[in-house]
A and B are shown apart, each in its own frame.
Chain A
Amino acid sequence: MTAPPATPEQWLQTFEATVRARDFAGGRTMFAGDAMAFGTWARAVTGLDNIVREQWENVWPRIRNFRFEPDTRVHVSGDSAWIAGGWLTEVTGPDGRPFTRPGRGTFVLERRDGKWLAVHSHFSLLPSQSETAHGRLPGDPVRS
């Protein structure tokens, strides 16, 4: 069994890998049950079950190679932390060709019982990026 991320930096690395693997079960262990998410697919979702169903399940299968940019800021304050930075993904455009789509993300984490959990996430696409460019990538596995 993999140990939970010990720091917010490790949390972010684990989250990137979790999204890339479309590991919804793994993602669930990284968010609080009462988390709230502002997203690129669903505008605002409260509660982990709703976040998985309305946000992750609509986005993760359609993106590849999700990663935050190296200059992403991480700040820790006691049992709270926040992360803000740019991210990149590869998606399929309306013409079927892959392209890299940038966006911005902010997380707020809280350490509960020694474990860092996201309690709030805010994802946004750059305005120039079409939200319709969510072509499902063929042949990619989805874990549930």
Chain B
Amino acid sequence: MSDVRVRPARPEESAILAEMANDLNDHVGVHGRPFTPERVRVHAFGAEAAFTPLIAELDGAVAGYAFFTLGYNTDVAARAMWLHDIFVTPAARGRGVGYALMAAVAAETVRAGGALLEWGVHMSNAGALAFYRRLGAVAAETRILGVDGERLRALANAAREPAGAGADDLDTLQELNRNYIRSVRMSDVRWFEENLAQDFLNTNPDGSLVDRAGFLAQIARRGAVSNLEAEDVHIRMLGEVSIIHARTTYKRPDGQAGAGRYTDIWERRQGRWLCVAAHVTRG
């Protein structure tokens, strides 16, 4: 009979934990293998560890792991354990290793005073879904959402704004950005006269650097491209200065589709946002 044992993981097992955690990500279609032994060492065993790791052994060999963190569930107003990962190596599957890991995490939950043990599952992971159904797990009517990367930072930056400024400023800048693009498209010199700072500086796609007067003159002449649109617009607030950057699509004079990027810098002067610099690149 196979001998399954679950125990706390040790720092010297960071490498094998990273390998298994990356294998689990690959298994559910999350690529990039973000775990490294160093990350596991810091996040599982460091002074401010983010989760607790368990190792499962089958006949004395490492056969799986679980990562979990004690949190809180406001539906029941009680402590709840969140299971980040549970994984069994392919060769050890079907031999009770997963069940032993789940039982160990449940025991930790009860010991910590948790009212429930929760986890997420990739809906494409049919094997995991069947396993959880056998455990008697029920699905909550919720979906896990998240923001990451630039969107997370933009949201975080909004929190650094003075009270009452963040959301309103973002709305204002989004509108200014839309009008900027529209005014390039429509050769709306007047809009630019109202919204460019006197010391505005523009880096053109051809590498020339033009001041406000030069830029207004080139807007009046109409550009060489048409159908200009901005996509993937990001606004980053730095107090009284804001960066707006985006990708662009447009039609070249020969009718071919083009793409580029721009960085616009805005500054609040006397309570009003004015564009102070722009850098436009076209591919």
A contact residues vs B (CB 8 Å cutoff): 34, 36, 38, 43-44, 46-47, 73, 75, 77-80, 82, 84-86, 102-104, 106, 108, 110, 119-120, 122, 124-127
Contact = CB atoms under 8 A, between A and B. Distances in A.
Contacts of A34: 153
Contact of A122 (B267, B281, B282): B281
A107 to B, nearest CB: 10
Given A78-B241, A122-B261, 15 more contacts: A38-B261, A38-B263, A43-B283, A75-B199, A77-B241, A80-B238, A80-B241, A82-B276, A82-B277, A85-B209, A86-B207, A104-B207, A120-B245, A122-B263, A126-B207
A80 B237 CA distance: 10
Contact of B203 (A36, A108, A124, A127): A124
Given A38-B281, A75-B276, A119 B236 contact: yes
Contacts of B267: 77
Interface string B105-126: 0000000000000000000000
B240 interface: yes
B165 to A, nearest CB: 14
A43 B263 CA distance: 13
By secondary structure, the A interface counts as: strand
18 contacts: A34-B153, A38-B245, A38-B261, A46-B149, A47-B149, A78-B241, A79-B238, A80-B240, A80-B241, A84-B279, A104-B207, A106-B279, A110-B238, A120-B236, A120-B245, A122-B263, A122-B281, A124-B279
Given A38-B261, A124-B281, A108 B241 contact: yes
B205 interface: yes
Nearest to A46: B150
Contact-size category for B? 20 to 34
A47, A82, A126: residue with the most chain B Cβ atoms closer than 10 Å: A82
B254 to A, nearest CB: 15
Contacts of A127: 205-207, 282
Given A82-B276, A104-B207, A44 B243 contact: no
